[in-house]
Chain A
């Protein structure tokens, strides 16, 4: 049984907000895990800083105009921040689990759309992860702001493109989770997607390090807009036209992904038969 509900956008947002508050209260019960997670992000940054400090002393950054030790550290600080905010692997496995265990039936019977429940859960996780990472990021910005020459335009450009990047990647991983309608275990597909995205989104290595022949293909794909381009806008001083073009490209890809996700979801639901949990 599917409860079809048409609600005003304001009501949908209130519902998502309410769901988020519930999940935040649940997260408060696991404060100890929260404390350990406080240490994970600085540990990742420590390794990145040590690696690139060694790389700089070895002369490996000489050919890079965009990066020196401070900017590359900030690059990875924001890269890991965006990865923590998204937690997209968890989104895909959750969707696939809900399909395989039949839990989807429960959500279908509620007067709330499944995507709204997912949005609530992930918004709560985003808030928690942001609270873990932002103090460190802001401290690094305070220390290295001189190297960056931050402007209002670069900050606004970064925030807007980062929000769209989070949405873009979340919808993509939602599509991977939907593969659970057809595939028994999605983790192989998920791992391959994660490795590919980490390469093409510049998470492993900034895209400016790659040769032009590689970038010709990488630039045609949407992955650079999931991480590399938003952060590059922050580290450089982009013209307003560049930011607007970037936002438009992201919106186009987002529309394509949402249309694809909706089509896959409808097709998957016709195959789905759940019996409760």
Chain B
């Protein structure tokens, strides 16, 4: 008996399954957002000019306060400039790539979440991409360089632990993302929560100052619980450290805190989704 030929492959009924590549989608969206931003060149110039003015005024503020050998607690002018470089970098990542998390309450309240739920992408990631402004990240880099130049010119010494410091800053960005999402998720229970946004924006004002100038419980909350300390104070301190132990310990702590916030965010998201009832999104 001759072996049977293998059965011919039977074509599937219906459309072929679509392979969904998240990384490619993220890249495509970021490219599209960049091209979109490039259409508004006048706005970009105005944005860049106002950012530069803000940063020059910041330098002036700290120079007036800390000129000569003056120190605020332990911070000299050069060290504050290093701190501001990290603050600017944190803001650049946050506003350029993660702005969507601060808009999530609008996504829930306006019913836009319905649209996101029909796509194969996680709605949280979808919101991140939809509101991203990649060129914001690029336009902040000259200010970062300016602050670093002032820091080095004022005698601040940058050590190789700068690499750990950058990771610390990114951890701070991660914690910030989780916290902002949590605030946005209150929209599942409270509806419009613009008041909370204004309140958190006033808390983020503390980003302008090193958290170690604060005292008591304010210092503990801003350094270890909210991402403000991880955003710039701890990275700046880590860069000025001559050893690796302190920065690595801080990195370990920040990763733990970030993970705990992530777990809380995920649990809140699932609970919120169970109560969500969308009625569609009317643009």
Which residues in A have some Cβ–Cβ distance to B below 8 Å? 32-37, 39-40, 43-44, 46-47, 50-51, 53-55, 57-60, 184-185, 187-189, 191-192, 195-196, 198-199, 204-205, 209-211
Contact = CB atoms under 8 A, between A and B. Distances in A.
B125 interface: no
Contact of B199 (A36, A195, A209): A36
Contact of B209 (A39, A43, A51, A191): A51
Given A36-B199, A185-B46, 15 more contacts: A34-B195, A36-B198, A37-B195, A46-B218, A47-B206, A50-B213, A51-B213, A54-B73, A57-B73, A60-B72, A188-B46, A189-B46, A192-B49, A195-B50, A195-B53
A247 to B, nearest CB: 29
A204 B62 CA distance: 10
Interface of B: 42-43, 45-47, 49-50, 53-54, 57, 60-61, 64-66, 70-73, 190, 194-196, 198-199, 202-203, 205-206, 209, 213-215, 218
Contact of A37 (B43, B65, B198, B203): B198
Given A43-B203, A210-B64, A187 B46 contact: yes
The 7 A-B pairs of least Cβ separation, nearest first, read: A188-B46, A36-B195, A191-B50, A33-B195, A54-B213, A40-B202, A50-B214
Nearest to A43: B202
A47 B61 contact: no
B65 A55 contact: yes
A32 B46 CA distance: 35
Contact of B57 (A37, A60, A198): A198
A256 B60 CA distance: 30
A205 B65 contact: yes
A44 B60 CA distance: 21
A60 B194 contact: no
Given A55-B65, A58-B72, A205-B65, A192 B218 contact: no
Given A50-B218, A60-B72, A199 B50 contact: no
B202 to A, nearest CB: 5
A47 B205 contact: yes
A189 B50 CA distance: 8
Nearest to A188: B46
Contacts of B194: 33
A46 B217 CA distance: 12
Contacts of A35: 195
Contacts of A57: 73
B215 A54 contact: yes
A209 B64 contact: yes
A40 B204 CA distance: 11
Contacts of A189: 46
A33 to B, nearest CB: 4
A205 B62 CA distance: 10
Given A50-B215, A191-B54, A184 B42 contact: yes
B213 A185 contact: no
A46 B206 CA distance: 10
A212 B214 CA distance: 31
Nearest to B51: A191
Contacts of B72: 54-55, 58, 60
A39 B50 contact: no
A58 B54 contact: no
A107 to B, nearest CB: 25
Contacts of A187: 46
Contacts of A37: 195, 198-199
B162 to A, nearest CB: 26
